[in-house]
Amino acid sequence: MFIASLMQHSFFALTATLGGSAFDAQSVTARTSWWERTGASKFAAQSHAVRSDLPQSSSRATAADIDRAWLMIDTALGSLRPRTRGLQEALLFQSQEDLSETMRTQFAIDPPSEAFAFRSPLGQGIAVCTEDTPAPIAARGLRAALCGEYLRLACAGDLAPAVQCGLLDFVARWDSTGGGGGVGDAGASLVRSAAGAKNALSVQAILSMDRSQWTAAVAADPHGSLCEQSASIIRFLTQPKSQRGIAAFQAYLRLVAEGTPSSDAFALAYGLSSDGAWRDFDAQWRAFTKSEKANPAETVRERLAFFGEGLRMLDAAGSLPLDFDALAVALTDQRFSAPRAWRPGFSCVSAECASVFSPVDGCDSSRDGPPSAPAKADPSKAAARGAKFRLESTESSSDPKSPPAVVVADSQTLRFKLSWFKTRPASEAPWVWDITRGN
């Protein structure tokens, strides 16, 4: 099954190698171009030709995880035949400066993020940078990049942009422990709000957008609700008890890979031959959005990511809080949201949502205006509630100059901690957060 196949493999090494504070003497030697420095150390993995300036052990471990991810994606999506053969490039960078310079000089591309798939007349593949990048963002970004690259090779540009966006999010959310794959409270609430609005787009309208329409719609969507709805549609289509099963979804992808236009392929695979069939399909998805329970572990991870980015902002301003109440006030006053731009695998948590700071359901990240009171808790959704958090004194940290850690204060099952490290030795280098188990 689709979800089961996504859960079978572990990305522990991927998260560890992409998130650690690894820097060595090579990073402070005389500057030559990254392309020249890595020419002699490139090697071939099963799925990609790897070029890296990470330590050799990290490069090899990450390459092995890339191969496992590639096989997992291929198996889960129905072993589609790639239209382009041969090894793709996997470029692993320690430095953001090297990433930008190399992509521009070697491939004539401006890097859009810290992990992405790329294609130009000069080459194609994936690129990821570890410098100043939180481990979860780097790992989830790389998984999404691999999925995007696979879909491009198999389906070219013919796949509906909404399907690609949703699939990238689904794969990215699968975490390093073999769990996850669900959505946090912020994402689930945003989808419920968007899908239940009077002017809500139908599934057919979302899946029928071409690339220019999709780009314009996403640009006009400040809360990321369209991307969240697309991810929700993929979760709906791939749920274990889906009436049509994963076979229909794989059949749709195969039709697109064979050249059938995406909208026609979807209608054929799901038997949507009339307006009434589409309306029934749309109603089924909206019922799914109302009943889908938020994953409690994913809720905690997204809130910790929110706190990490918020503490980085406050640290840069020289105004770190002394306790959690002060943190809540500071971030609420700033109307802070994180991540600032939608990334696959992360819902856009906002300080405008009162439940970010308390274990109560009812977050609506799409709401503008001043913070609202927490919604009354629904006992039927107890599993989707978050957990109370607290700040851990920097006195207990290995580096008292680092921002305070955030720990889960009241859960025996969701024992996560926001920890800090630096990816380079420079004194002005920003602190980077990671999410670890145990407190």
What is the per-residue pLDDT across 278-311, written as a single tens digit (0 to 9) for each?
A: 999 999 999 999 999 888 888 889 999 999 999 9
How far from chain centre, in Å, is Cα 187? 12
Strand intervals (E) in 305-408: 337-338, 349-350, 389-392, 405-408
**Residues 67-80 pLDDT 10s:** 999 998 998 899 98
Share of the chain above pLDDT 70, in %: 82
> Strands 389-392 and 349-350: what pairing?
unpaired
| Nearest CA-CA partner of 230 in 267, 299, 285 | 285
- Which tokens go with 431? 């602190």
Q: Where in the chain are the domains?
A: 2-156, 185-291, 296-437
* CA 198 to chain centroid: 29
Q: Which range has the worst mean pLDDT, 108-117, 279-288, 293-302, 361-370? A: 361-370
**Structure pTM?**
0.87
User: What does the alpha-carbon distance between residue 63 and residue 42 come to, in Å, rounded to a whole number?
Assistant: 11
Q: pLDDT grade, residue 239 (50/70/90)?
A: confident
Model pLDDT, residue 134? 92
Q: CB-side exposure of 232: number of CA atoms within 13 Å?
A: 34
Q: What gap in Å lies between CA 371 and CA 153, rounded to an integer?
A: 45
Residue 385: predicted pLDDT: 55
Which of 392, 312, 289, 305 lies closest to 347 in space, CA to CA? 305
**Closest to 342 (Cα-Cα) out of 364, 365, 361, 363:** 365
Percent of the chain with pLDDT over 90: 53
Compare 396 and 61 and report the one with higher pLDDT.
61
**Residue-level pLDDT at 18:** 59
Among candidate residues 1, 70, 80, the one with its CA nearest the CA of residue 252: 80
Q: What count of Cα atoms within 13 Å lies in the side-chain half-sphere of residue 436?
A: 14
Place 313 in a pLDDT band, splitting at 50, 70 and 90: very high
Helix axes 225-237, 161-173, angle to 10 degrees: 80
Pick the range with the lowest mean pLDDT from 90-94, 371-375, 420-424, 428-432.
371-375
Per-residue model confidence (pLDDT) at position 282: 95
Tens of pLDDT, residue by residue over 248-263, are 999 999 999 999 999 9
**Confidence bin at 386 (pLDDT 50/70/90):** low
Res 35: pLDDT:
95
Would you say residue 13 has pLDDT above 60? no
- Which candidate, 175, 168, 180, places its Cα nearest to that of 73? 168
- Report whether pLDDT(384) > 50: no
**CB under 8 Å to 308, separation ≥6 — which residues?**
134, 338, 406, 418, 433, 435
Give the burial class of 222: count Cβ atoms within 10 A of its Cβ; 0-12 exposed, 13-18 middle, 19 or more buried: exposed
Reported as a pLDDT band with limits 50, 70 and 90, residue 10 is very low
CA–CA separation, 219 vs 211, rounded Å?
Answer: 12
* DSSP conformational letter for 344: T
Answer yes or no: are the C-beta atoms of 106 and 35 closer than 8 Å: yes
C-alpha distances out from residue 184 to 28, 187, 282, Å:
40, 6, 23
Q: Distance between CA 53 and CA 56 in Å, rounded?
A: 8
- Spell out the residues 6+ positions from residue 236 whose beta carbon is closer than 8 angstroms to its own: 242, 284, 285, 288, 289
- Rounded distance, CA 142 to CA 161, Å? 19
> What pLDDT is attached to residue 175?
57
The angle, 0 to 180 degrees and rounded to 10, between the axes of the packed helices 324-333 and 296-316 is 80
The pLDDT, as a whole number, for residue 205 is 95
Rounded CA gap, 179 and 10, in Å? 9
273: pLDDT strictly greater than 80: yes
Query: Is the pLDDT reported for residue 370 higher than 50?
Result: no
Mean pLDDT of 206-212: 94
Max CA separation in the chain (angstroms): 67
Distance in angstroms (rounded) separating the CA atoms of residues 287 and 147 = 28
pLDDT value at residue 9: 40
